[in-house]
Amino acid sequence: MVHPGPAHRAQRRLTAAEEAVLSIEHVIVKQPHDLGGGFEVGRVLPSRARRMVGPFIFFDHMGPVALAAGIPRDLDVRPHPHIGLSTVTYLFDGALTHRDSLGFHQEIRPGEVNWMVAGRGITHSERFEYARAHGARMHGVQAWVALPTGAEDTDPAFFHHAADDMPGWTEPGIRGRLIAGTAEGMTAPVRTHSPLFYMHLEMADQARRSVPADHEERAIYVAHGAVDVAGQRLAAGSMAVLTPATTVEIVAATGGAGLMVLGGAPIGERFLFWNFVSSSRERIEQAKEDWRMQRMKLPDGDSAEFTPLPGRPPTPDPAS
């Protein structure tokens, strides 16, 4: 009699908990962070569990919060510098006014993209001018994308893209928009410097879709509502960092959900201090000294004040 070997035995179906373990590397819950003036955001990246996802080195969730007309200017993000990264601002609700040292003055509204390449150095401000005049519900995300080593000192630049410029699609119970990069056969017009993707999904009650393994590192962030990721429930304010090379299914919980899905190719270790990102500790020290000595031009039309350099930690923190 021939006994069946391992290849012939019936495969046991994985439990939901086992599927989640195989599909999710980390779950990160946003932590409160005061930007100054009492305006608080939820910081997701960097975290102790994970410093970066692909080239994404920073991820802040703003709101939702109702701002009354006449709010003080203390809540604004005053002029401040960046090096070595691109910032991307994306809103679900409200409006922000951007000004920078290249002379750009741009209001951003929901579904639009402000993509600012800091490169060798730029300064900018983001102010709640619309909310101050009219009142507004503010809700959005700001992410930073670290530049690859060969592009860290590229010329600074700013790009604004209207919502209609972004590739969008619908499927049963789902509306999607590709904000940046390449995914699922689509490419966004935003200028990027390394392989990445960044998308916004609005999912109705019990809608489902998968996240393919097209990029080496990927994460799902729940901006509102809740979803089941490979059988594990994720509430608003949670990010699931996915296991590489696995296709992962998402199912929206009762009431639906809004998600940001992001990732890309890792670019290596980066040092992070305040608003400065670099592969070189020395470059960060130079940027700190340049800002301390006021060698960086302030934004056109917004140069009456600025954010001072924070206290001096022993060394920049590495991120990878």
The CATH number for 204's domain is 2.60.120.10
Place of tokens 């932590």: 31
Q: How high is the pLDDT of residue 55?
A: 98
pLDDT level of residue 38 (50, 70, 90 thresholds): low
Q: How high is the pLDDT of residue 131?
A: 97
Q: How high is the pLDDT of residue 320?
A: 58
Mean pLDDT value across residues 302-309: 96
Which one-letter amino acid corresponds to residue 61?
H
Regarding pTM above 0.85, the answer is yes
Q: How high is the pLDDT of residue 37?
A: 61
Pairing between strand 270-273 and 238-242? unpaired
- Note down the domain range covering 127: 16-267
Dist. CA 164–CA 204, nearest whole Å: 22
Helix, strand, coil shares, percent, the chain, to 5: 10, 50, 40
Split into its structural domains, the chain has a count of: 1
Mean pLDDT value across residues 263-291: 97
Mean pLDDT value across residues 245-268: 97
Q: How high is the pLDDT of residue 6?
A: 46
pLDDT level of residue 9 (50, 70, 90 thresholds): very low
For residue 140, is it within any domain?
yes
pLDDT level of residue 314 (50, 70, 90 thresholds): very low
For residue 275, is it within any domain?
no
For residue 254, is it within any domain?
yes
For residue 308, is it within any domain?
no
pLDDT level of residue 35 (50, 70, 90 thresholds): confident
pLDDT exceeds 90 at position 4? no
Mean pLDDT value across residues 267-285: 97
Mean pLDDT value across residues 53-68: 96
Helix (H, G, I), strand (E, B) or coil at 231: coil
Q: How high is the pLDDT of residue 8?
A: 45
pLDDT level of residue 315 (50, 70, 90 thresholds): low
Q: Is the dihedral of CA 183, 225, 219, 212 positive or negative?
A: negative
Q: State how far Cα 129 lies from the chain centre.
A: 23
Mean pLDDT value across residues 279-295: 97
Dist. CA 275–CA 85, nearest whole Å: 9
pLDDT exceeds 80 at position 81? yes
For residue 82, is it within any domain?
yes
pLDDT level of residue 253 (50, 70, 90 thresholds): very high
Mean model confidence pLDDT for the chain:
92
Mean pLDDT value across residues 288-317: 88
Dist. CA 242–CA 220, nearest whole Å: 8
Q: How high is the pLDDT of residue 34?
A: 82
Query: pLDDT tens digits, residue range 133-159?
Result: 999 999 999 999 999 999 999 999 999
Mean pLDDT value across residues 120-141: 97
Query: Percentage of the chain with pLDDT > 70?
Result: 90
For residue 208, is it within any domain?
yes
Provide CB contacts within 8 A for 110, sequence distance 6+: 91, 92, 93, 94, 140, 163
Mean pLDDT value across residues 291-302: 97
